[in-house]
Amino acid sequence: MAASTQFNARTVRPLFRLQSVSKKCPKPARISCAAATPAKRYSITLLPGDGIGPEVISVAKTVLKVAGFLEGIEFSFQEMPMGGAALDLTGVPLPDETLSTAKSSDAVLLGAIGGYKWDKNEKHLKPETGLLKLREGLKVFANLRPAIVLPQLVDSSTLKKEVAEGVDLMVVRELTGGIYFGKPRGFSTNENGHEIGYNTEVYAAYEIDRIAHVAFETARKRHGKLCSVDKANVLEASMFWRKRVTEIATEYPDVELSHMYVDNAAMQLVRNPKQFDTIVTNNIFGDILSDEASMITGSIGMLPSASLGESGPGLFEPIHGSAPDIAGQDKANPLATVLSAAMLLKYGLGEENAAKRIENAVLDALNRGFRTGDINSPGNKLVGCKEMGEELLKSVSSQVPSAVLN
């Protein structure tokens, strides 16, 4: 299948993008910059969204600018409304202009969407509906969610240190099929006169095949182990899923494939997470398991994600929500969004060096003891979203030693 190795040809590249950048570095960091005239230019659509979204996007954008500048990259940013912010402004969660701008850019960086204000809206007027439509419009079907327990944060995990230490796994989630999109769906009345709600879990062969190829390619670049998660002992859709994944496995003899029922996978993720390298699963199971995996790391505020298609711009976003309770209070952790920007550079643009600058900057800031409230512990310095951004800028401008990664 041609799509097997073409899923977004930029998938093996760095992680972030930046906006057009002046030859002066942002003042807060007081960094001395020196770089050649930008040789590469990219357009990035920014979707700050709701809650803490604008705060974390602001930090990620500035970090992207500096990392790109130092690598001879120039970014052109266009900020567009989405989610609750778009509802308030235009009456819909995803304006046509926003989708059009996103589709014409090189990559899309999203902050967060949703909030109590819109919880009681009808389904088509909920912020979350805008996100589903964005994914559908961009045709991004593969969601990559890494869960890595950094040595600096191992004590923040709710699991015992010996269980959490060294965890490094990737969840590959099918994003545009399954029960979230399947039809028929809706509300009705059954033959007994009872009100019912129903949804349909359905997958076509091509949908399973293309996500399986992405997962096998991802596992091949990691440690050569892939676990396919399903519920094939009960669900026909999962039986079909397992059949197709098993057939695709014959094309990847160098990757060890295993299968696991989703209930057992949920248990094993907290019992022995180090047994996993790469996990591939359907939309709803991936939604749940990736959130569970995130808490192994100590905070959902640390985890980025990349959503990719066979062509066109990718969508990069932190997996955390909009956190309306702390919005506007300078308490948000921007690191998941910053790392999503790194994934943008790596998987979306193929700018490996710029991505590595950002990844190293995050590790350096943590090594120097800076922590936002969600990951703070005794002996470290508690900082807000803005100050964490300033510390990242100090780190990203310097050549961080490779020892930082150890």
Write out the catalytic residue numbers: 180, 231, 263, 287, 291
Please report, for residues 167, 174, 270, the alpha-carbon distance to residue 263 in angstroms, rounded to integers and kept in the order given.
Answer: 20, 18, 12
Give residue for tokens 């057992």. 264
* Cα-based distances in Å from 299 to 129, 177, 335: 26, 28, 11
| Separation of alpha carbons 387 and 210, rounded Å | 42
Q: Which of 347, 332, 349, 345 is nearest to 388 (CA)?
A: 332
The whole-angstrom separation of Cα 172 and Cα 211 is 8
Per the listing, tokens 């308030």 go with: 88
The residues pairing with 304 across neighbouring beta strands, listed in sequence order, are 318
Exposure string (b/e) for 195-233, b if CB count within 10 Å is 16 or more? Answer: eeeeeebbbeeebbbbbbbbbbbbbeebeebbbbbbbbe
Q: Are strands 304-308 and 314-318 parallel, antiparallel or unpaired?
A: antiparallel
- What amino acid occupies position 350? G
| Residue at token pair 């711009």 | 313
Distance CA 247, CA 240 (A): 11
Any bridge partners for residue 280, and if so which? 172, 228
Length of the chain as a residue count: 406
Indicate the helix (H) or strand (E) that contains 236: helix 236-249
Written as one letter, the residue type at 302 is M
Whole-number Å distance between alpha carbons of 122 and 107? 30
Closest CA to 278 of 173, 121, 375: 173
What are the structure tokens assigned to 306, written together? 């990349």
- CA–CA dist 325, 389 (Å, integer): 21
Question: What is the Cα–Cα distance from 335 to 353, expressed in whole angstroms?
Answer: 18
Give, to the nearest 10 degrees, the angle between helix 335-343 and helix 352-367: 160
